[in-house]
């Protein structure tokens, strides 16, 4: 352990891997922000805490069973000339779940349907939010840790990078969730990105890799445009309320 603390290569690996894990965690934060927006604020806060704690736990568990995890990339069957591993099947299933969930939420927003929380009890709604968070945490954790394995050799560095990234996700999730809840157009944009991320996961499962840089650039660019749009609306509202 001491040689890692004094090794410039180890610190460089930690910085690089932490940055990558933070970027990969954007998907998780977006999903959490959208999924908790339909339950009361107090429960939403608890759901975010539970969701991010589970994300950290899943990542550390996966890191501790690296041999088994690497085995998930071995082909289990072939179809139409494609070899599919358990990892591929998990990515395809998770991607389809994201697409389905985001499409359902977009439909609810377009139809102005707030009935989901009314039809179900508060406890039941909270339970299903946690179930959905667990499902997507497993998918994102798998993708994140397999990336980490390819970038670092030392388990300590991987665990440190994952813990730091999860802490940053925790700090940022609250403000992001509040912003999404307060601005309906931002929520619709986040849902559109979840569809895009779901498509990317399904494509990965079918061995067609879409470079994540394209997706994250689109997210960053659209988020910047939306930020200036919200700022412009706020300034117009202030100008309209100011005395002449």
Task: State the pLDDT at residue 118.
Answer: 47
Contact 174, 48 (CB under 8 A): yes
Give dist(CA 103, CA 131) in Å, integer: 18
**What pLDDT digit, counting tens, does each position of 153-194 carry?**
567 777 788 888 888 888 888 788 777 777 777 878 888 888
Listed as ranges, residues in the chain with pLDDT below 70 are 1-8, 10, 66-71, 112-123, 147-154, 241-244
Task: State the pLDDT at residue 3.
Answer: 56
Nearest-5° angle of CA 2, CA 16, CA 25?
115
Task: State the pLDDT at residue 12.
Answer: 74
Burial of residue 225 (number of CB atoms within 10 Å: 0-12, 13-18, 19+): exposed
Task: State the pLDDT at residue 97.
Answer: 85
Contacts 24+ apart (CB under 8 A), 183-188: 183/226, 183/230, 184/109, 185/226, 185/229, 185/230, 186/226, 186/230, 187/34, 187/37, 187/109, 188/106, 188/109
Which of the 8 DSSP states describes residue 81? Answer: T
């Amino acid at each position: 352990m001491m040689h890692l603390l004094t090794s410039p290569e180890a610190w460089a690996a930690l910085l690089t891997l932490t940055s990558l894990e933070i970027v990969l965690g954007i998907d998780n934060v977006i999903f959490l922000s959208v999924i908790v927006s339909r339950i009361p604020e107090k429960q939403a806060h608890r759901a975010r805490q539970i969701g991010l704690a589970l994300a950290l736990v899943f990542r550390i568990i996966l890191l501790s069973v690296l041999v088994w995890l690497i085995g998930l990339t071995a082909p289990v069957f072939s179809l139409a000339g494609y070899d599919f591993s358990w990892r591929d099947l998990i990515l395809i299933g998770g991607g389809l779940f994201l697409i389905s969930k985001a499409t359902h939420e977009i439909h609810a927003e377009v139809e102005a349907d707030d009935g989901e929380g009314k039809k179900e009890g508060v406890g039941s709604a909270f339970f299903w939010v946690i179930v959905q968070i667990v499902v997507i945490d497993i998918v994102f954790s798998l993708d994140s840790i397999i990336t980490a394995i390819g970038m670092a050799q030392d388990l300590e560095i991987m665990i440190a990078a994952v813990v730091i990234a999860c802490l940053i996700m925790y700090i940022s999730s609250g403000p992001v969730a509040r912003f999404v809840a307060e601005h309906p157009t931002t929520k619709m944009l986040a849902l559109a990105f979840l569809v895009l991320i779901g498509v990317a996961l399904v494509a990965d499962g079918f061995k067609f890799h879409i470079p994540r840089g394209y997706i994250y650039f689109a997210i960053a660019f659209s988020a910047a445009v939306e930020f200036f749009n919200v700022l412009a609306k706020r300034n117009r509202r202030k100008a309209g309320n100011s005395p002449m």
